[in-house]
Structure 1
Amino acid sequence: MLDLGGIDVGEIATALADQTDYEHRWLIDPRTGQVVFWTSDTGIDGENPVEIDELDLIPVDPLPSYVWFQDMAEFADGISYSAVGRRLAQSLQGRGALRRFKNQAYEHHPELNSPWHTLRDVVRA
């Protein structure tokens, strides 16, 4: 039986948030709970290409962007310093909102990175 205490919640959150492409995938071993990173060029060990269908692992599909958008909007609304909260909320307007939110938080308000990651990991765990 899988020991749930051995699952790295941070790795699962990273896998769920990875919206980049399908040239790589995050996979979980259903027996151990270990999360691995697979690419079409380097497989899961970083050296030996292997077809994803040949692996006895379960893909971790990323959460849809609207889920992250909702979390980001709630996070921005919860910021006690209203000017910062407004800037974060404004970054969520229109196309490219997720990227703008991250840029605003990481570049202009790095003090929010730890609280954002904590919220993201707890909400999605």
Structure 2
Amino acid sequence: MRYTLLLHYEELDAETLGAEALEEGQAAFASYAATLHAAGVLIAAEVLQPSAVSTTVRVRDGALQVQDGPFVDTKEQLGGTVVIDVADLDAAIGFARQAPPAFWGTVEVRPGAVFTVDGVWTPNR
């Protein structure tokens, strides 16, 4: 069975976090990824870019509602993820609009970033 591990932690930028803590965190995640890989259980790992660059999609009374940034006025919890590879944000919104939670919850569209073995974070384009 596949499981998605949704990692929740306080969103801090590199300056607020500090260079030493950032370096320790990157080393910890690299070690964790190496452990998962060595165990043969790592399928994919993706770090989400900050919630400030997300887009939320809802359909209410048949009307599409698109909001930049996180939908902060909610008590909804993250319940799952779907990773898609599309041309642009408009295409992503089109698929998000079709997701069942768009009709009774919220679908957040957030670009990811890729962490490479050499420790570089690269935003998806």
What TM-score comes out, normalization by structure 2 length?
0.25
Q: Which has the higher strand share?
A: 2
Query: TM-score, normalized by length of structure 1?
Result: 0.25
Higher relative contact order (CA closer than 8 Å, sequence separation 6+): 2
Q: Hey, which of these two has a bigger chunk of helix by percent?
A: 1
